[in-house]
Structure 1
Amino acid sequence: MSRPMPAGQSAASLAAPAPLPEAVTLAATEWFVRLQAAPHDDANADTNDTHAAWQRWHDADPRHALAWQRLVDFGAHLRTIPPLVAHNTLVRANANQGRRRVLGLIAVAGVTGAVWSASDSNTVRAWRADLSTGVGERRTVQLADGTVLALNTDSAVDMHFSQDVRRLRLVRGEIAITTGADADHGHRPFFVDTAQGSLQALGTRFAVRQHDESAAVAVQEGAVRVVPANATDAAVILTAGQGATFDATALRSRFDDVGVANAAAAWTQGMLVVHAMPLGAFLAELGRYRRGHLGCAPEIANLPMSGIYPVDDTDRVLDMLSRALPVDVQRYTRWFVRVQPGGNGSATTRRVIGGDRTHT
């Protein structure tokens, strides 16, 4: 999307030697999302009101105009996108129409030096995937062979079913699978491929998550054969209650605990189950279910969290968090939230949010 600059102004004339304030760049990002999400109908009153409000914000301060121009320039080229404020706003009307509609790829120059190439990232592959979900969305489908496939937030899967094999490729995110019997097709073997290796289901229910440098599997029923991509002779069979993290060369860690295995698939019921998880890691997990940036001050990042938390209402969890721990939840915009040290609660007694007892 492109918006005209006010008469007599240009990006060059507004250039400033110092970086723009973070609040300005974040405001520009939020306006970008709002405008892209507005119906593309000039006769729509709500759309016109949104555009008028944006114009007032744009014209109110030369820094607003500069932030907007930088964002539009980056969006036009789609070459480098700072990850701090890049929001996955791919909206899917249904499985077939959804991948055609991208509401926004947000990019603001100068917020961070870390950039990535859209052409080299999994984002493009995720847009083209056979099945996918947006941020905060969960989806369950039944495949033709009777397999039940659940996709967690911001996930994407490709499918390849032939006469001889059933194969899924986890492009991004996390899935849970209950394999179907496939009796009508001779019980074809069922595989899930990740970037680090392949999993073969042996009549089972299991969850798989794709991380940046590794993949993780947790088995709830049956068994799964794990084969790292570069170490086919190091295959391992995991049974119910077991799980592992692996890279392309070997298993890096494993567990044997039914509770841990079941907790890994609790998201299918809309829950995040954690035990003694550092607050920083907890917020990173919670942040998977909401758009924008959810950060944590390093001074409180190691506060332990335990309990059961609803993933479909992250704002509620954050509100309760500020009452249960000695922290403050600071909302700069709806897209940028940071948890800071605060005076509420006690450093030695922490009420379990979503739980039924107090931990000391």
Structure 2
Amino acid sequence: MSHAIPPAPLPEAITLAATEWFVRLQAADADPDVDVRARAATRAEWQHWHDADPRHALAWQRLVEFGTHLRTIPPLLAHRTLIRARANPGRRRLLGLMAVAGVTGAVWSASDSNAVRAWRADLNTGIGERRTVQLADGTVLALNTDSAVDMQFSQDVRRLRLVRGEIAITTGADADHGHRPFFVDTSHGSLQALGTRFVVREHDDSAAVAVLEGAVRVVPAKRADAAAVLSAGQGATFDATALRSRFDDAGVANAAAAWTQGMLVVHAMPLGDFLTELGRYRRGHLGCAPEVAGLRVSGIYPVDDTDRVLDMLARTLPVAVQRYTRWFVRLQPGTRTGRSADGLPNSSGSPTLRAIGGERTHT
């Protein structure tokens, strides 16, 4: 199969300018001493820079897609570092900004090893894309947004390698090949399917599995003696040494697989965490101000229409959606009172959004 070729690095001056603008915009939002007019002026200056050259737009796109560390840096701290960096010419200035970003040139060239492995994988999906395929053995494999899988089928074994993201598997009988064992490898351990339907998600420091039918044997990469068998309705998170946590609830397991039907199911999830989950299905940066990050969200949401979900949030929670560009969206404190989907105020002091939506399915 053909594979995408990683794009060439952009000029250093452009990547530096993009980093500066990212920090300036975040700092303007976070600083209470910056008034509305000043924020608007900063956004207008950024928009002028962004639209002046296609390479500027490309640098910005790469930054918000790959520069995840930038989003975790306190904005005012980053801005102070930026001001100090401006006093240092040339290479020292760039290194100062890269220290703020917590990233390397790999962000700009899109050539970090995990991204390259994903591009070269046997099966992959882009951001916001889901894909379902049937393998030669009868197994049905679904890939969630921004996911990648390698396949290694031999005469003796069926093995998938989850390179990135999340997959759902319904194993085939494989009668023509003697019912070969079926494994899914992750960075943190291996899963053996025991005639089953299950979902697996790769995180940075762990992996998660939820079993819908049959059973799955979980083996941490460095502790085979810590292996455990999970049955239908059960699930766990695990790292290379142990199962960190387990659940035994069919509802939780079904919620973990809701993305296969184009849905995101959550219960009392903090808004900040909810936006992180929703952000997996759209390009760019999606976040919120610290003041609203703790608002609770519950319900069923359509992942194929993230803008619709954001509008629902603005109508139901005391938040306002700030769309700087299609690539950079941030929820700020708003003036609305938190109300549930029936329009009645919530009884608790912390508003909770409840909604059901999403007519579309995707395979």
- TM beyond 0.5: yes
CA RMSD in angstroms, aligned pairs only: 3.6
Per the alignment, residue 268 of structure 1 pairs with: 260
Matches within 5 A, 1:234-253: 234-253=226-245
Q: Matched residues in 2 for 1:204 and 1:70: separation?
A: 43
Which structure 1 residue ranges, 5 or more long, are not aligned?
A: 27-56, 87-107, 356-360
Q: Matched residues in 2 for 1:310 and 1:66: separation?
A: 32
Contact in 1 for aligned 2:70/2:101 (Cα 8 Å)? no
Per the alignment, residue 343 of structure 1 pairs with: 335
AA aligned opposite 1:264: A
Per the alignment, residue 354 of structure 1 pairs with: 356
What's the CA shift for 1:238? Answer: 0.2
AA aligned opposite 2:354: V
Q: Equivalent pairs: percent with the same residue?
A: 70
AA aligned opposite 1:273: V
What's the CA shift for 1:276? Answer: 0.9
Matches within 5 A, 1:135-154: 135-154=127-146
Match of 1:178 among 162, 170, 173: 170
Is 1:325–2:317 an aligned residue pair? yes
Q: Matched residues in 1 for 2:13 and 2:134: separation?
A: 51
AA aligned opposite 1:68: H
What's the CA shift for 1:11? Answer: 5.9
* Matched residue count: 289
Q: Deviations over 1:274-325 (max 9, x none)?
A: 0111111100000000000001111111111110000000000000110011
Contact in 1 for aligned 2:264/2:300 (Cα 8 Å)? yes
Contact in 1 for aligned 2:118/2:163 (Cα 8 Å)? yes
Q: What is the DSSP-based 3-state SS (H/G/I as helix, E as strand, rest coil) of the residue aligned with 2:165?
A: strand
Contact in 2 for aligned 1:197/1:227 (Cα 8 Å)? yes
Contact in 2 for aligned 1:158/1:170 (Cα 8 Å)? yes
Is 1:302–2:287 an aligned residue pair? no
Which structure 2 residue ranges, 5 or more long, are not aligned?
A: 1-6, 27-44, 72-93, 339-348, 358-363
What's the CA shift for 1:354? Answer: 1.8
Is 1:114–2:102 an aligned residue pair? yes
Contact in 1 for aligned 2:50/2:57 (Cα 8 Å)? no
Q: What is the DSSP-based 3-state SS (H/G/I as helix, E as strand, rest coil) of the residue aligned with 1:267?
A: helix
Q: Matched residues in 2 for 1:23 and 1:333: separation?
A: 15
Per the alignment, residue 82 of structure 1 pairs with: 67
**Which has a greater percent of helix?**
2
Contact in 1 for aligned 2:268/2:352 (Cα 8 Å)? no
Per the alignment, residue 36 of structure 2 pairs with: none
Q: Matched residues in 2 for 1:61 and 1:202: separation?
A: 56
Q: Deviations over 1:86-109 (max 9, x none)?
A: 9xxxxxxxxxxxxxxxxxxxxx99
Matches within 5 A, 1:148-163: 148-163=140-155
Contact in 2 for aligned 1:287/1:294 (Cα 8 Å)? yes
Q: Deviations over 1:95-146 (max 9, x none)?
A: xxxxxxxxxxxxx995852114455531000000000000000000000000
